[in-house]
């Protein structure tokens, strides 16, 4: 850590007062990732021993920034020690933003806008900045070629199919892999392929997307990255939204190349399949082989995507052995067991306006709590708070100075806590709690946020918050 602290002090002219690990950002990567803070400044430090990957990330970062692409600034580096210091882009990934602003397949408009922004930037990486990138620094391959594809397919075969006990004919499957590889490489593959273009590698700061984790990039086909994003397992995007975002991507891509949509789509779903297989190989290696069970939580989402593809897509080439293996996966009791609901109770917390739309319970249970906060002091009547929300510090300070707010929140927590305890004892999985006020902007938002913080401290409770009116306002 000393090298990272030295980098911080050299860049900010102040010592690092605190160093906190952020392993969750790239679990399974082998990197040591920390946030260094001091004097009101912060930065992200990375320690990683694979020199070739470090070189690729640093070279790509400098290249992309020359094109004005939103990637982190590199503050300092030392390849001999496998260390570099980069810009801190915050804590909110696109996946986090999606997870906190959805109820089932109902995804908030601002999340869809964020996805549209992300897919609009992708052609800039692939075409604009990709045409003169130094592909000599790519690691482990300069292109997504026959060898790269073989690695992914074998990863899937040996670490997923084998370890999940899915039967297959090895020679027949290898013949399908050969046909699939030939077909994939018949697409134009002279563009930059980001390789891991998915929702956890996009950060949102001030509502704008920033991009990370492209050190595995290489030359390849356009279809791979958009398939990675739209069929990102746990993101679980609804089919209609996937199609909307694909259309938007193609519209944006047409601004950079002479695009034949028919030619693009001919290869698109084959790249969807190989991306899903690559992900399943990773889940199998980390989950079945290394016995890190949380990686297996993504398997049911991949199976759901495969089931949709089986019903809606016909590839231009025949892959009978591979399709038979997929059928085996979809009928596997071992894999279906992974899809069992996770233990615990999900409490969905809403804020809303009584003058507009009340939240709808989509869990099928009906009921829940609806709390009316209109009896509390209203910050919306004060000019200095009118444009703010219940998530802003000034509004929070105002409400927390009101004794009536403390009493109200205490009673609400007590009622919800009793229900949570009862629901957990009875094995229930869903509880809905809604706070309403006049505008759905201040009091109800504050109360929903405070209840969520309170519930996050209770074991086996997953608190999910949505603010109906703020979503309409884009906040």
Is residue 397 scored above 60 in pLDDT? yes
Query: Same domain, yes or no, for 40 and 174?
Result: no
Looking at residue 65, which CATH number applies to its domain? 3.30.200.20
User: Exposed/middle/buried for 74, CB within 10 Å: 0-12, 13-18, 19+?
Assistant: middle
Query: Same domain, yes or no, for 365 and 319?
Result: no
Backbone angles phi, psi at 307, to 5 degrees: -65, -40
Lowest mean pLDDT among 72-86, 345-359, 433-447: 345-359
Looking at residue 471, what is its pLDDT?
A: 78
Query: Same domain, yes or no, for 463 and 356?
Result: yes
Looking at residue 295, what is its pLDDT?
A: 86
Domain end residue (candidates: 87, 112, 146):
87
* Predicted confidence band of residue 26 (pLDDT cuts 50, 70, 90): very low
Domain end residue (candidates: 58, 87, 116):
87
Lowest mean pLDDT among 134-148, 202-216, 428-442: 428-442
Query: Same domain, yes or no, for 444 and 397?
Result: yes
Is residue 102 scored above 90 in pLDDT? no
Mean per-residue pLDDT, 411-436: 90
- Who has greater pLDDT, 177 or 359? 177
Domain end residue (candidates: 62, 87, 112):
87
Looking at residue 30, what is its pLDDT?
A: 77
Q: Model confidence over 299-345: pLDDT tens digits? A: 999 999 999 999 999 999 999 999 999 999 998 988 977 865 556 78
Query: Same domain, yes or no, for 60 and 169?
Result: no
Highest-confidence segment of 25-29, 308-312, 339-343, 356-360: 308-312
Query: Encoding tokens for residue 339?
Result: 């899809």
Looking at residue 257, which CATH number applies to its domain? 3.90.1200.10
* Predicted confidence band of residue 55 (pLDDT cuts 50, 70, 90): very high
Q: Which DSSP letter does residue 53 get?
A: H
Q: Which DSSP letter does residue 93 get?
A: B
163 by DSSP, 3-state: which? coil
Q: Which DSSP letter does residue 23 get?
A: G
Query: Same domain, yes or no, for 271 and 401?
Result: no
Looking at residue 258, what is its pLDDT?
A: 97
The DSSP code sequence of 393-449 is: HHHHHHHHT-HHHHHHHHHHHHHHHHHHHHHHHTT--EEEEEEEESSSSSHHHHHHH
Query: Same domain, yes or no, for 123 and 268?
Result: yes
45 by DSSP, 3-state: which? strand
Query: Same domain, yes or no, for 418 and 334?
Result: no
Looking at residue 462, what is its pLDDT?
A: 85
- Who has greater pLDDT, 353 or 344? 353
* Predicted confidence band of residue 25 (pLDDT cuts 50, 70, 90): very low
The pLDDT mean for the chain works out to: 93
Mean per-residue pLDDT, 9-31: 80
Terminal-to-terminal C-alpha distance of the chain: 38
* Predicted confidence band of residue 27 (pLDDT cuts 50, 70, 90): very low
Is residue 23 scored above 80 in pLDDT? no
Is residue 90 scored above 60 in pLDDT? yes
Looking at residue 360, what is its pLDDT?
A: 76
Helices of type H across 70-185: 94-100, 109-123, 146-156, 170-185
Mean per-residue pLDDT, 46-71: 97
Count of the separate structural domains present in the chain: 3
Q: Model confidence over 131-190: pLDDT tens digits? A: 999 999 999 999 999 999 999 999 999 999 999 999 999 999 999 999 999 999 999 999
Q: Which DSSP letter does residue 288 get?
A: I
Mean per-residue pLDDT, 255-261: 97
Q: Model confidence over 439-460: pLDDT tens digits? A: 999 999 999 999 998 998 787 8
Query: Same domain, yes or no, for 176 and 324?
Result: yes
Looking at residue 293, what is its pLDDT?
A: 76
Print the domain residue range for 356: 345-473
Backbone angles phi, psi at 465, to 5 degrees: -110, 135
Mean per-residue pLDDT, 231-243: 95
Percent of the chain past pLDDT 70, that is, above it, reads: 96
Query: Same domain, yes or no, for 333 and 357?
Result: no
Of 21, 11, 23, 77, give the one whose Cα is nearest residue 292.
23
Query: Same domain, yes or no, for 148 and 269?
Result: yes
Element (H, E) at 470: helix 468-473
Query: Same domain, yes or no, for 278 and 154?
Result: yes
Mean per-residue pLDDT, 90-115: 92
* Predicted confidence band of residue 22 (pLDDT cuts 50, 70, 90): confident
Mean per-residue pLDDT, 217-233: 97
């Amino acid at each position: 850590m000393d090298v990272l602290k030295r980098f911080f002090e050299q860049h900010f002219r102040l010592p690092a007062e605190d160093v906190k690990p952020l392993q969750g950002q790239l679990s399974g990567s082998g990197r040591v990732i920390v946030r260094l803070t001091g004097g009101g400044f912060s930065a992200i430090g990375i320690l990683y021993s694979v020199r070739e990957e470090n070189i690729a990330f640093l070279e790509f970062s400098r290249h992309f920034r020359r094109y004005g692409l939103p990637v982190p600034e590199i503050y300092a580096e030392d390849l001999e020690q496998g260390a570099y210091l980069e810009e801190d882009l915050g804590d909110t990934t696109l996946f986090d933003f999606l997870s906190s602003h959805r109820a089932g397949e109902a995804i908030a408009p601002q999340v869809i806008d964020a996805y549209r922004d992300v897919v609009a930037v992708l052609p800039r990486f692939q075409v604009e900045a990709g045409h003169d990138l130094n592909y000599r620094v790519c690691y482990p391959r300069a292109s997504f070629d026959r060898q790269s594809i073989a690695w992914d397919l074998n990863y899937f075969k040996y670490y997923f199919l084998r370890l999940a006990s899915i039967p297959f004919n090895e020679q027949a499957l290898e013949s399908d892999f050969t046909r699939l590889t030939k077909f994939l490489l018949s697409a134009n593959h002279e563009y930059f392929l980001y390789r891991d273009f998915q929702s956890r590698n996009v950060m949102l700061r001030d509502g704008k997307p920033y991009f990370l984790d492209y050190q595995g990039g290489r030359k390849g086909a356009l279809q791979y990255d958009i398939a990675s994003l739209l069929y990102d397992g746990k993101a679980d995007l609804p089919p209609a939204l996937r199609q909307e975002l694909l259309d938007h991507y193609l519209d944006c891509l047409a601004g950079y190349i002479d695009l034949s949509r028919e030619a693009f789509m001919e290869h698109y779903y084959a790249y969807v399949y190989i991306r899903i297989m690559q992900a399943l190989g990773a889940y199998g290696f980390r989950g079945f082989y290394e016995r890190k069970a949380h990686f297996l939580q993504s398997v049911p989402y991949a199976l759901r995507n495969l089931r949709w593809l089986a019903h809606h897509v016909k590839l231009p080439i025949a892959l009978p052995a591979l399709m038979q293996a997929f059928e085996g996966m979809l009928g596997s009791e071992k894999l279906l067991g992974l899809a069992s609901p996770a233990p615990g109770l999900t409490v969905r917390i809403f804020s809303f306006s009584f003058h507009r739309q009340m939240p709808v319970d989509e869990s099928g249970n009906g009921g829940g709590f609806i709390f009316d906060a209109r009896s509390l002091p209203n910050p919306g009547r004060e000019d200095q708070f009118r444009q703010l929300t219940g998530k802003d510090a000034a509004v929070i300070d105002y409400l927390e100075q009101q004794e009536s707010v403390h009493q109200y929140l205490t009673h609400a927590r007590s009622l919800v806590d009793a229900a949570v305890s009862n629901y957990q004892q009875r094995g229930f999985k869903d509880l809905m709690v809604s706070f309403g006020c006049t505008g759905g902007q201040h009091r109800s938002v504050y109360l929903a946020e405070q209840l969520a913080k309170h519930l996050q401290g209770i074991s086996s409770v997953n608190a999910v918050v949505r603010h109906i009116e703020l979503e309409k306002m884009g906040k």
